[in-house]
Chains A and B, each alone.
Chain A
Amino acid sequence: QSALTQPPSVSGSPGQSVTISCTGTSSDIGSYNRVSWYQQPPGTAPKLMIYEVSNRPSGVPDRFSGSKSGNTASLTISGLQAEDEADYYCSSYTSSSTYVFGAGTKVTVL
């Protein structure tokens, strides 16, 4: 199972919006609404930010939103804040009953 494709990095100024794409195939993202997103600041464990494409767990700010079209999912961070600087990973359930992550995207707040 190949990793999902994410851009290595995105950046934005405080208050701006950034969007991270996550491209898979018809065997994962394209077939299931089971896409999740994780935030990982340096030296810490990942934290769930979005599940089932667009659902936010309790406590996650509504600045974080998710969507999907075809084989590509996206995470948008609106009103970017300094605390949002971290690595972000997408994940999808697959037709093999396994999970696959993306390679990760580093978000930099300028």
Chain B
Amino acid sequence: EAQLVESGGGLVQPGGSLRLSCAASGFTFSGFYMHWVRQAPGQGLIWVSDINGDGSYTSYGDSVKGRFTISRDNAKNTLYLQMNSLRVDDTAVYYCARGGVVAATDLWGQGTLVTVSS
């Protein structure tokens, strides 16, 4: 069964850094685009970033461009999100998701909570 499991969330101070991981299993990880999507408490979904199968292409939302970096290790079937210069408004549940169909994500993890607070 295909599955995504995020980890690495937690409490961090403003200006700090955090790296999220997303372990994939049950499918050929290298064959798919992967995405990060976040959701602040009680708020809607916000697209963060995506990366193609071999890691040669990445894209970012305006609110994280220059601060966050998406990457992947296909040998480890793992997706990453390096988050630097974190701000209070980056507080959210971060989901990783598989781009399994055209321009949409068909498999989601359970999410990991990132809290930015002093």
Contact = CB atoms under 8 A, between A and B. Distances in A.
Interface of A is mostly: strand
Interface residues of B, number: 23
Interface residues of A, number: 27
Interface of B is mostly: strand
B108 A91 contact: no
Contacts, number: 67
A93 interface: yes
Nearest to B95: A45
Interface of B: 35, 37, 44-47, 50, 59-62, 95, 97, 101-106, 108-111
A78 to B, nearest CB: 21
15 contacts: A36-B104, A45-B108, A46-B45, A48-B104, A51-B102, A51-B106, A52-B103, A87-B44, A89-B45, A99-B35, A99-B103, A101-B37, A101-B46, A102-B44, A103-B44
Contacts of A48: 101, 104-106
